[in-house]
Amino acid sequence: MKILIASTPATGHLNPLLAITQILVAEGHEIALVTGTAFRARVEASSIKFFPFPEGADFDPNDVFSLVPELKAIPPGLEWLRVAFERIFVDAIPAQHQGLLEALRQFPADIIVADDMLFGILPMLLGPRSHRPPIALCGTSILHWAREDGAPNFLGLPPAKTDVDRDRYVTLAREYDSVVDQPVLLRLNRALHGLGVGPIAIPLFHSVVALADSYLQLSVPSFEFPRDVPSSVHFVGTPPIIANQVPPPPWAKDLDGSRKVVLVTQGTVANHNFNLLVAPTLAALANEPDILVIATAGGRTTDAIPGKVPSNARVASYLPFEWLLPKVDVLVTNGGYGSVNQAMSFGIPLVTAGLTEDKADVNARVAWSGVGIDLATNEPTPEALREAVRTVLDVPRYRLRALQIADEFAGIDTRKEVHRIIRELVADDNRLSRLRSGAPNRDRRAGRRG
């Protein structure tokens, strides 16, 4: 098959799609990938045909917020979400759509596989089915779908346990709809109207789940709040880590099993200020002789980590997770969805602290599922971090729960599931094409020969 991969130009979105690309290349398919120009060398180094997004859909993955610098000053909350949704996601739709069309003109794909936040796919999903290939979207964040308890997404709310919870969630949902969903929908439908499609009436993030031909959620059911979801949603586990992206660090021998290993990361998006999580974690654990702290700067230089690095800590810009994660006892993270799922797949319990983007909801799932402690703040204190890390290390139930979920990941053959879903979508599309053209299918031809 000819498969077009399309990714939001951000590392946390591209990495799982590149891992899926490796799965598909191994099956002999021809792959092209459309994303931001910053990733050209990385894509082409994998011998994959690269298509760039045009201006308007391209941005610096090392500083996503350069598009909307005021987001750095807006505190986490409804206003932050509205501005981010409008300026980062909705405003990019026309240019993303243009980039997808241009890629398809040069690379007539049998199927498109894209990430869940590439909303430039919406014009195709809303247009005539006969004018596009099948589309599979990959859930690189929480499953954005309506909840039975009425709680809005992105606010970090666990499932309601009481009528009081449900009443509070209904009130919050009304405010969320007024401040976020309706203004974003207005802007979205203006953009869609300019492209000759729409309008839609459901929230932006719900729309892609509802409209995709198939939706591959990159997690396991036990890490998602229970609710009814469309039959097109498939939990496919987490893609394999792309190996050998960077070599082991010069201090690799220090991970000799004599100390517990605590990994701390702020990911590749919300890492403009390491005083939020990395520095407090280093300070929190500096006097813990049985712990070795590993800090990754998510692609930034280690000089950006403030303060003196304690003697029981090691730092690096990037680290080979396929080498590191089997050695880690606790992950301290602001809640990147991919990192959290990778950690759980290795049976690693977590301590989380982050409220921006989708992180409040990711971290609420960490606490709800029992795999770790959510500090429910953007700026945890060293004291809170030390207590949480010691609790996760010393109380067996966190590790046991993480191991249970790791077994659930191991029970899903991600490679097999991804290929099965894609193969079935293309086969269904071929059958529809034959029906539309009036051509007999193979079974009918075989019947005539009989």
Q: Write down the pLDDT at residue 377.
A: 95
Residue for token digits 């080979």?
A: 320
The pLDDT assigned to 395 comes to 97
Q: Which two tokens stand for residue 228?
A: 């009814």
Residue 268's pLDDT is what? 65
Q: Which residue has the tokens 């980590």?
A: 305
pLDDT at 314: 96
Q: What is the pLDDT of residue 439?
A: 56
Of 267, 381, 326, 349, the C-alpha closest to 13 is 267
pLDDT of residue 270: 62
Do 245 and 320 touch, CB atoms closer than 8 A? yes
CA distance 404 to 406: 5
- Cβ(333)–Cβ(354) under 8 Å? yes
Residue 271 is predicted with a pLDDT of 64
The reported pLDDT for the residue numbered 69 is 86
pLDDT per residue as tens, the chain (450 positions): 999 999 999 888 999 999 999 999 999 999 999 999 999 998 998 889 999 999 999 987 777 777 888 888 888 889 999 999 999 999 999 999 999 999 999 999 999 999 999 999 999 999 999 999 999 999 999 999 999 999 999 999 999 999 999 999 999 999 999 999 999 999 999 999 999 999 999 999 999 999 999 999 999 999 999 999 999 999 999 998 888 888 999 999 999 999 999 999 987 666 678 888 999 999 999 999 999 999 998 777 888 888 889 999 999 988 999 999 999 999 999 999 999 999 999 999 999 999 988 999 999 999 999 999 999 999 999 999 999 999 999 999 999 999 999 999 999 999 999 999 999 999 998 888 777 776 554 443 333 333
Question: How remote is the C-alpha of 370 from its chain's centroid?
Answer: 21
- Enter the pTM of the model: 0.91
